[in-house]
Structure 1
Amino acid sequence: MSLQPRQPSRQPSHQPRKDPSVDYVITDFGAVADGVTNNREAIQTAVDKAHEAGGGRVVVPTGRFLSGAIVLKSHVTLHLATGAWLISSLKSEDGIDFAAEFDDDTENAGWEGGCFLFARHAEDIAIEGHGTIYGQGDKVFYDDDSDNGFHESPLAVKGALWGRPRTTYFEDVTDLTVSGITFRDAAFWTLHMAGCNRVRVDGIRILNDQRAPNNDGIDPDTCKDVVITNCIVSTGDDAIVVKNTPPMAARYGACENVVISNCVLASRDSALKIGTETGGAIRNVILSDCVFRDCSRGVGIWVRDGATIEDIHVHHVSGATRQYADAYHDGRRGGWWGKGEPIFLSATPRARPTVPHPGVIRNVTFDHISMTSESCVFIAGEDESPIENVRITELDLTMRRQGTQPAKWFDEQPSARGLYEHEIPAVYVRAGRDVEVSGTLRREDGYAGRPLALTERSERVRVDLRER
């Protein structure tokens, strides 16, 4: 079925907060720290009691507490003490299934699975402390039998590919805070927020297996007024993804006003991805003062579903990008998207498009970017969807081979163009208008004899890279 547009059903809470400082310790409600007992009932009771009282802290003390899915509620803080482990059950009957939320007509169709920590149509929710939320993702993949020291190919999934639970899913939550804690080994997306307003994510660590597919770090989906700071994120899939999935766009409109700063991001895909899900506008996104390490891509911007991505600003970023692929899978090379591009902008149709044109990317700036990469600055639109007004200044790019694969691939997945061989210049522009790239360039290994820039069907492109 396809979702019909609807308005969120949350109503502002008129219940006064009685004493938000009151603690509801889960062991007082029967929780057992043996790592085996399912403590779902005890933890949910503590949450419900705090909510009914007008607010409070639900405390997970030191110890290992297994649980099925927990529904968090307005004015409740989930506090994990130092040494506390909150462990997600992987049993389907212990989860909350919201598969219909992603029953749309893009590549997302058919995604399913539940989540561990859940809230919808709520306000004033926090997860904080110095404990760990453990998704048990290491239990859902086969061991890597590759002799490649980089473990470049994705691990295989035991059972259904999309049957893995998200660690968290928050929809239509206003005033959401996640701070201090560590997320470890997510089975699927780690921190997924859809249609949320006034979100603060500060000082968290996400430590997922970099060989595991689809374990995104932080996903603001159709959210507004989001601040992500001081985080360390290491994932197999994208570290941070700003997106607007079509069902969420129909409910909540644009995804806008997202600030990301002072983070260390590592990913076998993109450090920062904007898109590919673009059912509605994405605008006013700023990333600054971040380090990228061990990434397939640095910053990637995709438009696919007919919307506009605009006013994106990235500055003061350093790091490295390289290819992670060592085998053919289903007729394509490697299991990871990305071929080491430091900057990647793409406006091209999906393999099975549902809109007349992919959409628009415009008004994008990059400034003071220092990267060592295995591929080029890639800017590729289509005649019906040109990429417009892109300024890349003070770029310091070193093109150097870092992995085992030759640099000869362009990767526009997911799209009808897919993955294909192409000469790798320093800058590639297709269907671009008003594009400027300036800074310094160092080319080592086999990159030195390649073109500085290649353009196709573009207007007003200026590339001024001083070789050093």
Structure 2
Amino acid sequence: MNNWFKAAAVIGLMACSSGIWAQGRLPVIQQTSFRKDSVYITKFGAIADGQTLNTKAINSAIDACNKKGGGVVVVPAGLWLTGPLVLKSNVNLHLKKGALLQFTKDFSEYKLVAGNWEGLPQMRNESPISATNATNIGITGYGVIDGGGEAWRQVRKEKLTESQWKKWIASGGIVSEDGKSWYPSEQWLKPTKMKNPGEITPDRTPEYYNSIKDFLRPNLVVITKCKKILLEGVTFQNSAAWCLHPLMSEHLTVRNVTVLNPWFAQNGDGIDVESCKNVLIENSKFDVGDDGLCMKSGRDRWGRERAMPTENVIIRDCEVRHAHGGFVIGSEMSGGARNMWISNCTFIGTDIGLRFKTTRGRGGIVENININNIQMIDIPGEAILFDMYYMSVDPVALAGEKRELPKVETLPVTEATPQFRNFVIKNVVCNGAAKGIFIRGLPEMHVKDIHLENMVLQAEKGIDCQEASGITFKNITILSNHTNPVVDIINSDRLTFDKLNYKKDSELLFRVAGERTKSINIQNTDASKAKEKILYEFGASEQNVTIK
């Protein structure tokens, strides 16, 4: 652990003002503690026949346990159909082996409630499991919690086989005019043409929200303004939208859980930790339809006004498969994100490995992020990505899909200008990616002070660095198929390449472009292996590059 923190000194992180980061120590996450008293849901009339709706019985067991000072509410083996459940303080909802908690697909069982979506106050269908202002709560055990998400989600034809698509259409619902998407109902389709249809505003009536109710999908587990939370051992799957959503909560432990969603599930994130403090996620597996391990803090002015960063986060020994990103920050990070330690994680087939995304309008500062020992294979996009031009689309374009490059222009710096700074990323191995490292900042706000060290990246393309400052690449091996160039630099400054390794006979080692590019330092690197060492374009010159 000591060596891990030494890396922070390389870019001066230890001098920062943020407490635990400056002191080089991990945050302490307070743990839950429950009374041993057990309450079985069967004593309140629950029946495991897969047909009886057990909402009242299970909530009654939770209420009774809470009123007696807390304890364990036990869900025995069996198939238990239920509607929304509300956790209370000092209650541990415990699923025995063989327990399957199946949430009903009857939308009428979910009342509309004031909630939150990406930091914006919105009406939502009540979540299958929720807790608000509770202390010392848990969902533990060995069973499965299924959100019945297929009844709620839009499905895109291009993500299914022909047989799957025909089966989906035959199930009911409605197909869009262009024939490319399936929706559960006309009520779901109508709001897709509106801006922020679920936003809570004074002029919108209950009748209005009821008219678009099907569209307002619930997240599977929403924990709001709670303290001391434990999620352990359980499989959470098939959520209508995000799966696990701790919001404005403190002292969260997620341990040995499995999170599953179909790869085509729209907004089917694994866990979105939003504006939370003191978080531990360990020994868990995610195989989902959107981002896997995602850190957020609200969107645009709503996130900035909330002003609650996600901070003091430890993530270790986790595995992510088939997600849009393995470990992700953003794009809704307007309240900030800081002080995070991610280690010993494996990403298999995620669209992007380490994904840091934002865009103009977000604002917020993401800083003091330490990442160590990451293994990746079969990454369709970038192994490591910093992108300040996030466009709210899937990270990897589907077959035939055309995307325009963003317009590059310099705008004034305001509170809505986002920032990425002070990252240490070490010991990364990736076998198979479209690009090894992609860094793209804004002309008015570069990605700053990133230390990348000890990596072996096998990818189609190597390193692409645009609008970045203070980036160190130390002992990086790029095994790229496209070697013209191995490293592409555009309008960046204070870049150091120390012991860059690459394939012999590469066409071009460096392309250096842009009149704002300067202070590029190359050392301990054998440039003679490349057919051409450096190409200067668009105002860049050899005066701005030093080779030692």
- TM value normalised by structure 2: 0.68
Residue 396 of structure 1 deviates from its aligned partner by 0.4
2:294 match: secondary structure: strand
User: Does the 8 Å contact 1:298/1:321 carry over to 2?
Assistant: no
2:273 match: secondary structure: strand
The match for 2:133 is 121
* 1:440 maps to which of 442, 453, 477: 477
Cα 1:75–1:19 change in 2 (3 A) is closer
The match for 1:452 is 486
Give, in whole Å, the separation in 1 of the partners of 2:371 and 2:314.
10
1:32-89, Cα deviation, whole Å (9 max, x unpaired): 1111221110011001101111101111111011111111010000000000011112
1:344 aligns with 2:399: no
1:308 aligns with 2:323: no
Give, in whole Å, the separation in 1 of the partners of 2:444 and 2:391.
14
1:166 match: secondary structure: coil
Cα 1:181–1:316 change in 2 (3 A) is same
The match for 1:10 is none
Number of equivalenced pairs: 401
The match for 2:377 is 320
The match for 1:256 is 311
CA RMSD of aligned residues (A): 2.7
Give, in whole Å, the separation in 2 of the partners of 1:113 and 1:287.
33
The match for 1:386 is 446
The match for 2:102 is 87
1:177 aligns with 2:211: no
Residue 250 of structure 1 deviates from its aligned partner by 3.9
1:252-300, Cα deviation, whole Å (9 max, x unpaired): 6221011110011113300111011122120011111011001100011
Q: How does 1:374-453 map to 2 (within 5 A)?
A: 374-400=434-460, 425-438=461-474, 439-444=476-481, 447=482, 449-453=483-487
The match for 1:461 is 495
Residue 99 of structure 1 deviates from its aligned partner by 4.8
Give, in whole Å, the separation in 1 of the partners of 2:480 and 2:306.
47
The match for 1:334 is none
Residue 454 of structure 1 deviates from its aligned partner by 1.5
Residue 437 of structure 1 deviates from its aligned partner by 1.9
> Which amino acid is 1:430 matched to?
Q
1:20 match: secondary structure: coil
1:295 match: secondary structure: coil
Give, in whole Å, the separation in 2 of the partners of 1:345 and 1:374.
15
Q: How does 1:363-378 map to 2 (within 5 A)?
A: 363-371=422-430, 372-378=432-438
Give, in whole Å, the separation in 2 of the partners of 1:316 and 1:349.
26
Residue 465 of structure 1 deviates from its aligned partner by 2.7
Residue 358 of structure 1 deviates from its aligned partner by 2.8
Which structure has the larger Rg?
A: 2
Cα 1:124–1:375 change in 2 (3 A) is same
Residue 102 of structure 1 deviates from its aligned partner by 3.4
> Which amino acid is 2:345 matched to?
C
Give, in whole Å, the separation in 2 of the partners of 1:93 and 1:103.
24
1:324-380, Cα deviation, whole Å (9 max, x unpaired): xxxxxxxxxxxxxxxx101111224879x9965431110011101001211241111
The match for 2:184 is 158
Cα 1:121–1:251 change in 2 (3 A) is farther
Residue 205 of structure 1 deviates from its aligned partner by 0.7
Give, in whole Å, the separation in 2 of the partners of 1:132 and 1:29.
21
1:204-259, Cα deviation, whole Å (9 max, x unpaired): 11121112221111111000000000001100101111110144664462210111
User: Does the 8 Å contact 1:72/1:118 carry over to 2?
Assistant: yes
User: Does the 8 Å contact 2:314/2:342 carry over to 1?
Assistant: yes
1:139-186, Cα deviation, whole Å (9 max, x unpaired): 44568642699xxxx985534274332110000110000001111222
Q: Percent identity?
A: 27
Give, in whole Å, the separation in 2 of the partners of 1:87 and 1:185.
10
1:72 aligns with 2:87: yes
User: Does the 8 Å contact 2:65/2:73 carry over to 1?
Assistant: yes
Q: How does 1:106-255 map to 2 (within 5 A)?
A: 112-140=124-152, 145-146=160-161, 156-159=182-185, 160=188, 162-246=215-299, 247=302, 250-251=305-306, 253-255=308-310
Residue 453 of structure 1 deviates from its aligned partner by 1.4
> Which amino acid is 2:445 matched to?
S
1:115 match: secondary structure: coil
1:273 aligns with 2:328: yes
More helix by share: 2
> Which amino acid is 1:450 matched to?
N
1:429 match: secondary structure: strand
> Which amino acid is 2:417 matched to?
P
Cα 1:250–1:125 change in 2 (3 A) is farther
The match for 1:51 is 66
Give, in whole Å, the separation in 2 of the partners of 1:155 and 1:316.
40
The match for 2:528 is none
* 1:62 maps to which of 62, 65, 77: 77
2:226 match: secondary structure: strand
1:426 match: secondary structure: strand
> Which amino acid is 1:341 matched to?
E
Give, in whole Å, the separation in 2 of the partners of 1:306 and 1:49.
45
Stretch deviating more after TM superposition (114-123 or 139-148):
139-148
> Which amino acid is 1:49 matched to?
A
User: Does the 8 Å contact 2:59/2:86 carry over to 1?
Assistant: yes
> Which amino acid is 2:133 matched to?
H
The match for 1:404 is none
Give, in whole Å, the separation in 1 of the partners of 2:252 and 2:465.
35
1:77-135, Cα deviation, whole Å (9 max, x unpaired): 0000000011112333322534553386xxx6868443100001110000100011011
Give, in whole Å, the separation in 1 of the partners of 2:374 and 2:234.
25
Give, in whole Å, the separation in 2 of the partners of 1:38 and 1:437.
58
Give, in whole Å, the separation in 1 of the partners of 2:121 and 2:480.
42
> Which amino acid is 1:256 matched to?
E
Give, in whole Å, the separation in 2 of the partners of 1:367 and 1:148.
44
User: Does the 8 Å contact 2:46/2:54 carry over to 1?
Assistant: yes
